[in-house]
Amino acid sequence: MKSLTLNESISFNGVGLHTGLRTNITLKPSSPNSGIFFNRTDKSTIIPAKWDNVISTKFSTNIASNGVEVKTVEHLLSALAGLHINNCEILIDNIEVPILDGSSSVFVENILKKGLKEQNSEQKILEIIKPVKFSCDYGYAELTPNSLKDEGLNINLESSFEGKYEDQDIKIMNLNGNYIESISKARTFGFFQEIEYLKSQNLIKGGSLDNAIVIKDKKPLNKDGLRYDNELMRHKVLDVVGDLYLSGYPIIGNYKGFKTGHYITINLLKKLFNSKDNYKIHKIN
């Protein structure tokens, strides 16, 4: 598969979910082999979108380089991964990526309107060779080889919402081709009884029913309800796709997890890159 970048630059602006700060971002075409990277224009600092630049994972995935941070990168990275864009410069003039409608569909739809550009180099993919697992006291995730290579990435998640919502699971076979319709529209979510706690932690200052599902008594407070019955689980898949793209590559493998979140997926990537025996990086046709 050929490398892909954008046809032309696209700008977005909006508030960050956690900081509430208004931010402008511009996605710019970039050269083959440049990868996905942020350019904090207000700080003249480049921050590659890589797992080893992650500095925190509390309610969002946050990366930094030379002490300059970009918060909540996961939904934008998910959009780029879902569209197979592997070279893109992201100009950003403040600390947090705008949350927009809480999903990745605003990015996806606007990028598709302008179109993608094939580049004169082959994309490299990361194939899982050996199973890798990360567990913590409440959940786990694992990556295992996928012998059906044309399926790319399969995702299988189970969650327990501890009485706050019905427990659900989701199986996405062959994410390639399923992302735009099945995943990109799923919004981020929170539970009504946790809002005060999150605010006390200086989080969700930009959160509202326009950019997040809020669940109270097992039902959404949003007046139009949910976009899918299992929108929460689909959003968890969206987050996994974004976080996994911090590997720097599309992945061929199976991702299975219970109660996954940014902390679990980023730690799983750290374990994956602990040993070169765990994976193989190569070109695909």
Binding site for Zn ion (CB under 5 A): 188, 239
What type of residue sits at position 127? E
Q: Smallest distance, Å, CB 211 to Zn ion?
A: 11
Strands of the sheet with 36-40, listed across from one edge: 10-15, 22-29, 88-92, 36-40, 45-48
Residues involved in catalysis: 262
Residue 93 C-alpha from the chain's centroid: 20
Q: In the complex with Zn ion, which residue's Cβ is closer, 104 or 247?
A: 104
Q: In the complex with Zn ion, which residue's Cβ is closer, 39 or 188?
A: 188
Rounded CA separation 104/108 (Å): 6
| Under 8 Å between Cβ of 155 and 175 | yes
Q: Smallest distance, Å, CB 188 to Zn ion?
A: 4
Q: Smallest distance, Å, CB 159 to Zn ion?
A: 13
Q: Smallest distance, Å, CB 239 to Zn ion?
A: 4
Q: In the complex with Zn ion, which residue's Cβ is closer, 23 or 188?
A: 188
Q: In the complex with Zn ion, which residue's Cβ is closer, 29 or 82?
A: 82
The residue with tokens 């969700």 is: 204
**124-128 and 251-258: which strand pairing?**
parallel
Q: What are phi and psi of 89, to 5 degrees?
A: -100, 130
- Other residues' Cβ atoms within 10 Å of the Cβ of residue 228: 14
Closest CA to 245 of 81, 123, 124: 81
Buried b (16+ CB within 10 A) or exposed e, 252-282: bbbbbbbbbbbbbbbbbbeebbeeeebbeee
Q: Smallest distance, Å, CB 186 to Zn ion?
A: 9
Q: In the complex with Zn ion, which residue's Cβ is closer, 127 or 239?
A: 239
Please name the helix (run of DSSP H) or strand (run of DSSP E) that holds residue 47, with its range, or none. strand 45-48
Closest CA to 218 of 191, 185, 198, 197: 191
Q: Smallest distance, Å, CB 187 to Zn ion?
A: 8
Rounded CA separation 174/144 (Å): 14
Q: In the complex with Zn ion, which residue's Cβ is closer, 123 or 188?
A: 188
